Amino acid sequence: MPRLDSPGLFSLTPKILADFAAEGILSVEDFLLAHNPNLDESRTEARKQAVVDILGYIDRQSCGFRTSARMLQEIEARGERYLPTGCESLDKLLEGGLREGTVTELVGGSSSGKTQVCMQVAASVAYRCRAMVGFVDTCHSFSATRLSHMLGGLVGGRDAVQRRVGAADEIGDAMKSIMHYSIFDIFPMLSFLNQLHTTLSVQVQSMEEKVMRLLIVDCASSVISPILGGIPGHALMVSMGIILKKLALENHLAVLHATRSQIIQLVEKEAILSLLLERLGKPCLVFACFSHETSAAIFVMLPL
Amino acid sequence: MEVEEWVMGHETAQNMLRRIGPRTTGLAPLVPALQRIVNLHGRHVVEVAGASGSAKSEFLLQGYDGWDGGVLWFDLDGHFDVLRLVRLLQAHIHQEARRRYEEGNEEEDEMEDGEQVLETCMERFFYTRCYSSLEFISALKSSRNHLLRAQTCGKGFRILVIDSIAAFYWLDRSAPFKGGAGNPSLSLQGAMQAVVRELKELRKLSQPTGLLVMASKCNIYSSNFSDTNDWASGLRKDNRQVDSAHEKDSRRSGLQQREFMPAVWQEFITHRLLLQSKVADGTETLFSAEWLRPALLNVDEFTINDTGFMLTNR
């Protein structure tokens, strides 16, 4: 939040600024916290004008109010889509796939297949939607070879590369649009997510060809569990949740993040949709999906 | 003029739920749990508390429906879905149209009228998203202009919804204290004080109809350590003479609500509603609503479907 003299508002003369400083208001942030509208009545005209100007500045900085009618129009214009997960039964469970603008949480114990699902979703979105995918890997479980096999399967089968001419190129293109980031700590994670938000906000304006539509964080609990156990730790976890939601809502990404199930009691339900993975036995996976909207538990057997 | 409208009764789907009359007449709410508190009017502040996934945001969404006047919605959680709002409004409008058609009041098809009503309702719903306490306070400050502008047009705002008020609780709590006498700092107390001050200011501006503030809050449950831990339960009993059914249940199940919001917010609210979810035998989840303040002994249970809340008992 800038200091009061930086926006260059004319009514903020040095005298007025000194007046504010005497009350301890040196920046816009201080003004927001300390300004009491009730006391304005007894002040001078110049002071009242200064307050009005500052409020105008704040108004211009904030994103403002929208009516729900306009929001609906925006959604219809953009055509918010569902991203296919690469697995039909999962798509049916999610009523179409991962929805842009939502944060989905994938929960499961150890080796329940979370990374496999994440890679499958990445492959499917990169290939079918021709979109960029960001894959944040915190537990070093990403495997490019496995991903190329999955893409091979999507393109047309294991021997598609031999059978079809352009298949290798398609696989190559899809692999190029999956960006892999290795982050093992909460602070680089937060800084990366903030940077991503800034980059994507600019990218939309320049209308480049491939836009990032999906962000996968596998697995979020590895960076969160070491820091939990105190107020700052909890605050960092909440900040990460907030920045993920911001990425989803402002940049229209579908965010998928995987978590270990032991963490689930501690993590506040930031996600809008939760998927619980349980391993029953090879080679099947059982999904129990409970969403906040319907709060129904649905069981689906998924053959891998 | 206002009295005349009141006497004429329900005319269109828009007037379905409101009763505009003398200033102190309350707004008749749609949600069954809210109906228990008769005369819920502009000077009240309602807090809806509950654990995660207990339909708080749904509840707030339901509260808006055919109110006359606008709604200011502050989304601090990112849980808002425009499509759901549209579906709910459409369902209610259809329901009302069908009801009136059956009563024989109107003969022609009300489809176009319904569309218009939907559009009017949507135009009156103002939404903004905030990602930090400072953004929230600055949004509150800039909503003053909206309020004044709307009042000059004749349609003031009747409800202000905050979902959820505790979204930045942990962030503010961990903010470093700047120190120094008279130096405002972004601490939990400071932020909450500023929020409450702005809300009071907005309420003052929207006299005489008043502004109903509804906020949702996520509850923190802490386990009851021992049955002989009397002082903790004693503190909680201070505010209520009658033990609500919920409290007895929660002591039995070993969970206690922890009130974590600062005192300035707790003094600001006048009503509190607790929502809980219970998983039923079937696939549907039951939700229960109980008024904690003022403490009522009745507990409503309901489920949620596409058209909104459905009361299951009573």
CB contacts of B159 in chain A (<8 Å) are none
Position B214 scores a pLDDT of 73
Highest mean pLDDT among A233-247, B7-21, B38-52: A233-247
Per-residue pLDDT band at A163 (split at 50, 70, 90): low
Among B77, B142, B182, beta carbon nearest to A62: B142
Instruction: Kindly report the backbone phi and psi dihedral angles of residue B39, in degrees, each rounded to the nearest multiple of 5, phi listed first.
Output: 65, 45
Select from A171, A177, A175 the least CA-distant residue to A159: A171
- Best interface-test mutation with A: which of B141, B221, B310 has the largest number of A CBs within 10 A? B141
Which three-class secondary structure string do you get for chain A?
CCECCCCCCCCCCHHHHHHHHHCCCCEHHHHHHHCCHHHHHHCCHHHHHHHHHHHHHHHHHCCCCEEHHHHHHHHHHHCCCEECCCCHHHHHHCCCCEECCCEEEEEECCCCCHHHHHHHHHHHHHHHCCCEEEEEECCCCCCHHHHHHHHHHHHCCCCHHHHCCCHHHHHHHHHHCEEEEECCCHHHHHHHHHHHHHHHHHHHHHCCCCCEEEEEEECHHHHHCCCCCCHHHHHHHHHHHHHHHHHHHHCCCEEEEEEEHHHCCCCCCCCCEEEEEEEEECCEEEEEEEECCCCCCEEEEEEC
CA A7 to chain CA centroid, nearest Å: 31
- Residue B66 is classified by DSSP as S
Taking CA atoms, B197 is separated from A32, A35, A36, A52, B190, in Å, by 11, 9, 7, 17, 11
**Selected residue of A51, A58, A71 to mutate for chain B interface (largest B Cβ count, 10 A):** A71
A297 in B contact zone (CB under 8 Å):
yes
A78 close contact with B: CB closer than 8 A: no
Instruction: Kindly determine whether residue B184 and residue A30, on different chains, have CB atoms separated by under 8 Å.
Output: yes
Residues 6+ apart with CB under 8 A from A186: A223, A224, A226, A227, A236, A240
Degrees to nearest 5, angle at CA B158 with B156 and B159: 135
Which residue has 């009041």 as its token pair?
B105
Sequence-distant (≥ 6) Cβ neighbours of residue B12 within 8 angstroms: B113, B117
Do the Cβ atoms of B86 and A232 come within 8 Å? no
Phi, psi of B242 (to 5 degrees): -100, 130
- Residues A215 and A125 sit within 8 Å (Cβ to Cβ): no
Which is more confidently placed, A203 or A282? A203
Reading phi first (left if > 0) and then psi (alpha if -120 to 50, else beta), residue A32 is in alpha
B53: nearest CB among A1, A65, A295: A295
Q: Please indicate whether, in this complex, the C-beta atoms of B184 and A246 are within 8 angstroms of each other.
A: no
User: Which positions in chain A touch B164 (Cβ < 8 Å)?
Assistant: none
Query: Which domains does chain A show, CATH number per domain?
Result: 14-61 (no CATH), 68-303 (3.40.50.300)
User: How far is Cα B148 from Cα B105, in angstroms, rounded to an integer?
Assistant: 37
Question: What 3-state DSSP class applies to B18?
Answer: coil
Residue scoring higher pLDDT (B103 or A241):
A241
Kindly state the helix (H) or strand (E) to which residue B87 belongs, with its residue range: helix B82-103
The answer to which of A13-22, A26-35, A67-76, B95-104 has the lowest mean pLDDT is B95-104
Tokens of A65: 């109010």
**pLDDT tens digit string along A289-304?**
444 333 333 444 443 3
Chain A hits for B69, Cβ within 8 Å: none
Contacts with B, A 174-193, CB within 8 Å? none
Separation CA B119–CA A128 (nearest Å): 37
Bridge partners of B272? B47, B293
Give the C-alpha separation, A36 to A25, whole Å. 12
Q: What percent of chain A has pLDDT over 70?
A: 72
- Give the residue, A210 or A214, on which the prediction is more confident: A214
End-to-end C-alpha distance for chain A, whole angstroms: 51
Neighbour count for residue B269 (Cβ, 10 Å): 20
In Å, how far are A24, A48, A49 from A41, measured between CA atoms? Answer: 19, 8, 12
Q: pLDDT for A190-199, tens place per residue?
A: 999 999 998 8
Interface A-B, measured as beta-carbon pairs within 8 A, has a size of 134
Q: Give the C-alpha separation, B58 to B85, whole Å.
A: 9
Q: Which residues in A lie closer than 8 A to residue B125 (C-beta atoms)?
A: 67-69
Q: Which residue of A has its CA nearest to B192?
A: A33
> Poorest-confidence range of A43-52, A135-144, B195-204?
A43-52
Q: Does A33 touch chain B (CB under 8 A)?
A: yes
The label of the residue with tokens 């939760």 reads A274
User: Among residues 228-247 of chain A, which lie with CB inside 8 Å of chain B?
Assistant: 231-232, 234-235, 237-239, 242, 245-246
**Degrees to nearest 5, angle at CA B96 with B95 and B99:** 85
pLDDT at B272 over 50: yes
**Facing B143 at nearest CB: one of A65, A239, A245:** A65
Q: What is the pLDDT of residues A168-191, one digit of tens each?
A: 788 888 888 899 999 999 999 999
Closest-approach residue (CA) in chain A for B54: A292
Which residues between 44 and 73 in chain A have a beta carbon less than 8 angstroms from any beta carbon of chain B? 55, 58-59, 61-69, 71-72
A32 interface with B at CB cutoff 8 Å: yes
Q: Nearest by CB to A68, which of B127, B145, B197?
A: B127
Q: How far is B192 from chain A (nearest CA, A)?
A: 9
- For residue A66, give how far its alpha carbon lies from the nearest alpha carbon of chain B (Å): 5
Task: Evaluate whether B219 touches B164 at the Cβ level (below 8 Å).
Answer: no
Q: Which two tokens stand for residue A22?
A: 């005497």
Q: Which helix (H) or strand (E) holds B35?
A: helix B32-35
ipTM (interface predicted TM): 0.76
Given an 8 Å threshold on Cβ–Cβ distance, is B125 in contact with A67? yes
Closest chain B residue to A236, measured at CA = B171
Quote the pLDDT of residue A189.
93
Cis peptide bond upstream of B22, omega within 30:
no
**For residues A92-122, b (16+ Cβ closer than 10 Å) or e, as one string?**
ebbeebbbbbbbbbbbbeeebbbbbbbbbbb
* Residue pLDDT, tens place only, A99-120: 888 888 777 777 777 788 888 8
Q: How far apart are CA B156 and CA B151, in angstroms?
A: 4
**Angle at alpha carbon of residue B312, lines to B309 and B313, rounded to 5°:** 130
Most confident of A28-42, B31-45, B168-182: A28-42
B142/A29 CB distance under 8 A: no
Closest approach of A208 to chain B, Cα-based (Å): 27
Residues 116-155 of chain A with CB under 8 A from chain B are none
> What is each CA distance from A286 to A83, A94, B176, B262, B297, in whole angstroms?
21, 15, 45, 43, 42
Identify the DSSP state of B38: T
Count CA atoms within 13 Å of residue B52 on its CB side: 19
Q: What is the C-alpha to C-alpha distance for residues B172 and A26, in angstroms, rounded to an integer?
A: 20
Most confident range (mean pLDDT) of A27-41, A140-154, B11-25, B264-278 is: A140-154
The answer for residues whose C-beta is within 8 angstroms of residue B214's C-beta and 6 or more apart is B45, B46, B47, B48, B60, B63, B159, B160, B161, B162
The yes-or-no verdict on residue B282 having pLDDT over 90 is no
> Which of A58, A235, A268 is nearest residue B174 as measured by Cβ atoms?
A235
**In whole angstroms, how far apart are CA B172 and each of A231, B126, B182, B245?**
10, 26, 19, 34
> Alpha-carbon distance A171 to A181, whole Å?
20
- Distance, in Å, from the CA atom of B92 to the CA atom of B30, rounded to the nearest integer, reads 10
CA separation for the pair B37, B63 (Å, rounded): 13
Instruction: Compute the distance between CA of residue B235 and CA of residue B291 in angstroms, rounded to an integer.
Output: 19
**Domain definitions of chain B by residue range:** 26-80+125-175+185-221+256-311
Cβ contact A68–B125 (<8 Å): yes
Is the CB of A58 less than 8 angstroms away from the CB of B142? yes
According to CATH, the topology of domain B26-80+125-175+185-221+256-311 is Rossmann fold (3.40.50)
Q: Does A17 touch chain B (CB under 8 A)?
A: no
Displacement of CA A174 from its chain's centroid (Å): 22
The dihedral sign for the CA sequence B7, B13, B16, B17 = negative
